[in-house]
Every structure is written in structure tokens, then in C-alpha cells.
């Protein structure tokens, strides 16, 4: 595929708003992150400078930059480079405009999910290198991770690939994933499990239905149990996680004159990080006791870990009351690596993937300020 040359991201005069715009305008729908990854790598190498203040690694279209100060504590910031496909008509290039409810916003694919967060990371990497060059060393080592293929099936996820290829690149005591959270800390995440609940019957001509057995009718109690199900609310380390158990698909039927011999209800269970995927599976099997249940995929959630010192300090700095994260995010990958992680980034998740995807400029600036103060100490940056 031919790409236009990506705009440079290493100009020290670029503020977070202009960087967000440039990162967004470099299209990078999942699978086509190359140009943006190249531009990010070039910027990070430029920031590292001849002094090598940042070590830069590349793995496919993932790029990692980190300090090597030998500090007792290392924190990690991470964000994905890819987006879902553009809207039709295309919601790029980015426009800056005044939104009736949100005020000063950037509008366009990626502004919310999550190139605003990517731009914040780039500014912080630049300022970290600049601080080191000026002899002002941060208190903690820091790792910046930019990765590919977050918006597609889990097997292609760039963070997962890094964890397999270079687990040491992801080593840290605490991680912040800059997914859109309206600049509020969202702790941990629910796990997710999908299963197929299948009923079977015996096919027959529908003019002589009594010779068969209707598998769709047999699914009536499956839907009744779903309709009657009351999701749990589970407190984990001070945050209340709302669970869910929902049909997300149903299919059955052979032809308009045939009694169906099979009906499949696909259910999605979102479960609090108090439980493992195995426990969630047991729960789903209990709910559908008596039916054929096949789990098709499951992923553990992540406990919030907000009691840990690095997390507690970070939450304090944000000045916000942490909320639980209901959706599954890559914080669970860090959790699985033994790295406590939270979601904290600019953008209202409700506009992610939407045609009018947008990000408030004040959230971009607030996230940058909070993270800058935490990483580099308030007021220390030129």
C-alpha cells in the first residue's frame, strides 16, 4: 500500500493539540499502522538525541522508549496507535471546533480512541528526554509503549506480542493505559467471557411438526433465564464493578418450512475482577444448568490495585475519585504480567468508534499536566 509521508512528530514546538491532530491525520486503521509507527519511532529517536536519554525498541509496528536510570521504581505509559475504520464520509482530517456541550474539541477518527493519549505520551517522552539532557533526572524510570492492533482480535494485539517477544520491555511497577476515561482514573476492568448455549431438536417438515422437535422453542427457558437475570455488583478494593450477562446473538432455522433442529444463543458475561475466568465460566454454567454450554473465549479482568503506593500517589495527583472500568481493556494484560495498571486518558469513551468521535481540548491538557507533574515533578519543566 502507498502512504503519503507522515508529518514529522519531533518538532519541539508542537503542543499536545497539534500533535494530536498530526497523529490522527496519519491514518492508521488496524493493520495499517506502519507510517504512524515509523513517525513515532523517528520522533522518539530524535528526542533520545546523541546522549541516548531514551532507549528505543521496535517490534513490528510497536515502539517502546524508556529511560535507564536504575531507579528503584519504574512506571509505564501505554497507548495503541491503531483506530477502527474511518466513518463514511471519512471523519478525517481532524477539525477543531466548538461543541455545544463539550466546548473546544478536536473532532475526527482517533481523537478520542486514543490518539489524544498517544500525543500526550509523545509530549512526555520529549520532555523527559529534555529534562535528562538538562541534568534534571526524574525520580522514577519511565517506559513509553506505543502499539498496534488493539482494535481487532486479541491474537493480533501488539501489546500481547510485545509481552511474548520482549516481556522485559514491559517490566514496570505500575502502568497507566491512556485509553479514554474523561481524564478520570478508571481502576482495573471487568473480565469478559463468551459462550454458546445450544439447544437441539429433530428436523421435520413444518406441515407435520409433530414428527420433529423444535430447537427454537426449546430455547425459551434460555431467554427467560437471561431476561430474569439480575447482574451482580461486586466491590473490589473499594470500587463497585457492575457485571452483566447478555445475549449478544441468536440463530436458528433451516428453511421456512422446516422444524429447526438447532438454536444457538451467544451470551457475553462481563464479570468483576474478584473472579477468575474459570469462576465466571462456572457461574455461566450454573445459570444455564441443563443446557449445552460451550465457552468460546474468556479473558480475566484486572483488579484495580489502587492501594499500591505508586497507584495511590497517581490517583491523588489526578485529583479525581477513581471509578471502576466496566469494559475489558489492555490493563488486564498488564495485570496478567503482574503489573498493576489503571486507565487514565483524555476523551469520553462514549464517543469512541462513533462517527462524531471527538476529544475535549481541556482534557488533553489536563491529562498532560497531571502526568507531567507525576513523572517530572510540577513546575520543573521548561
Residues making contact with a second copy (CB under 8 A): 190, 192, 194, 205-210, 214, 216-220, 223-224, 226-227, 231, 242, 244, 246-260, 263, 265-266, 268, 270, 326-328
Cross-strand partners of 262: 200
213-216: list long-range contacts, CB under 8 Å, 24+ apart.
213/259, 213/261, 214/259, 214/260, 215/252, 215/260, 215/261, 215/262, 215/263, 216/252, 216/253, 216/260, 216/263
> Closest approach of Cβ 231 to a second copy, in Å?
8
How many CB atoms neighbour CB 368 within 10 A? 23
CA dihedral of residues 127, 132, 133, 134 (deg, nearest 10): 90
Nearer to a second copy, 7 or 327 (CB): 327
> Closest approach of Cβ 220 to a second copy, in Å?
4
Which residue of the set 25, 82, 281, 363 is catalytic? 82
> Closest approach of Cβ 237 to a second copy, in Å?
19
Nearer to a second copy, 74 or 269 (CB): 269
Nearer to a second copy, 90 or 249 (CB): 249
Contacts of 123 (CB under 8 A, 6+ apart): 15, 16, 19, 368, 372
Checking phi first, is residue 311 left (phi over 0); if not, alpha (psi -120 to 50) or beta? alpha
- Asked if 73 and 84 count as a contact pair (C-beta separation under 8 A), the reply is no
- 150 flagged as catalytic: yes
Three cell numbers, residue 209: 411438526
> Closest approach of Cβ 282 to a second copy, in Å?
20
Nearer to a second copy, 226 or 336 (CB): 226
> Closest approach of Cβ 351 to a second copy, in Å?
12
- 261 flagged as catalytic: no
Three cell numbers, residue 26: 496519519
Best CA proximity match to 172, nearest among 307, 78, 73: 73
Which residue of the set 33, 150, 243, 300 is catalytic? 150
Calpha distance 113→285 (Å, rounded): 35
- Asked if 43 and 122 count as a contact pair (C-beta separation under 8 A), the reply is yes
Q: What is the widest separation between alpha-carbon atoms in the chain?
A: 86
DSSP secondary structure letter of residue 170: G
> Closest approach of Cβ 248 to a second copy, in Å?
5
Catalytic residue annotation: 82, 150
Amino acid at each position: 500500500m502507498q502512504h503519503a509521508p507522515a508529518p514529522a512528530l519531533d518538532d519541539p514546538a508542537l503542543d499536545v493539540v497539534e500533535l494530536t491532530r498530526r497523529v490522527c491525520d496519519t491514518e492508521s486503521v488496524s493493520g495499517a499502522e506502519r507510517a504512524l509507527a515509523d513517525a513515532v519511532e523517528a520522533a522518539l529517536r530524535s528526542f533520545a538525541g546523541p546522549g541516548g536519554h531514551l532507549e528505543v525498541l521496535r517490534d513490528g509496528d510497536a515502539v517502546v522508549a524508556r529511560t535507564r536510570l536504575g531507579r528503584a521504581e519504574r512506571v509505564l505509559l501505554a497507548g495503541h496507535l491503531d483506530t477502527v475504520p474511518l466513518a463514511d464520509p471519512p471523519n478525517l482530517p481532524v477539525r477543531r471546533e466548538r461543541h455545544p456541550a463539550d466546548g473546544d474539541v478536536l473532532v475526527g477518527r482517533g481523537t478520542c480512541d486514543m490518539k489524544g493519549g498517544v500525543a500526550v505520551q509523545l509530549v512526555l517522552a520529549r520532555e523527559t528526554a529534555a529534562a535528562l539532557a538538562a541534568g534534571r533526572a526524574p525520580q522514577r524510570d519511565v517506559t513509553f509503549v506505543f502499539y498496534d492492533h488493539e482494535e481487532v482480535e486479541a491474537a493480533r494485539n501488539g501489546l500481547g506480542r510485545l509481552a511474548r517477544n520482549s516481556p522485559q520491555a514491559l517490566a514496570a511497577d505500575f502502568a497507566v493505559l491512556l485509553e479514554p476515561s474523561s481524564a478520570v482514573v478508571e481502576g482495573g476492568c471487568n473480565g469478559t467471557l463468551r459462550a454458546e448455549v445450544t439447544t437441539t431438536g429433530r428436523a421435520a417438515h413444518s406441515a407435520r411438526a409433530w414428527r420433529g422437535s423444535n430447537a427454537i422453542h426449546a430455547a425459551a427457558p434460555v431467554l427467560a433465564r437471561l431476561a430474569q437475570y439480575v447482574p451482580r455488583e461486586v466491590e473490589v478494593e473499594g470500587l463497585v464493578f457492575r457485571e452483566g450477562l447478555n445475549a449478544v446473538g441468536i440463530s436458528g432455522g433451516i428453511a421456512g418450512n422446516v422444524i429447526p433442529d438447532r438454536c444457538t444463543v451467544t451470551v457475553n458475561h462481563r464479570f468483576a475482577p474478584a473472579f477468575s475466568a474459570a469462576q465466571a465460566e462456572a457461574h455461566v454454567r450454573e445459570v444455564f444448568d441443563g443446557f449445552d454450554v460451550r465457552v468460546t473465549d474468556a479473558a480475566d479482568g484486572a483488579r484495580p490495585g489502587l492501594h499500591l503506593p505508586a497507584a495511590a500517589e497517581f490517583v491523588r495527583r489526578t485529583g479525581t475519585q477513581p471509578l471502576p472500568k466496566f469494559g475489558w481493556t489492555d490493563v488486564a494484560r498488564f495485570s496478567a504480567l503482574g503489573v498493576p495498571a489503571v486507565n487514565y486518558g483524555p476523551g469520553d469513551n462514549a464517543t469512541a468508534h462513533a462517527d462524531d468521535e471527538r476529544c475535549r481540548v481541556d482534557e488533553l491538557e489536563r491529562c498532560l499536566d497531571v502526568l507531567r507533574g507525576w513523572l517530572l515533578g510540577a513546575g520543573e519543566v521548561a
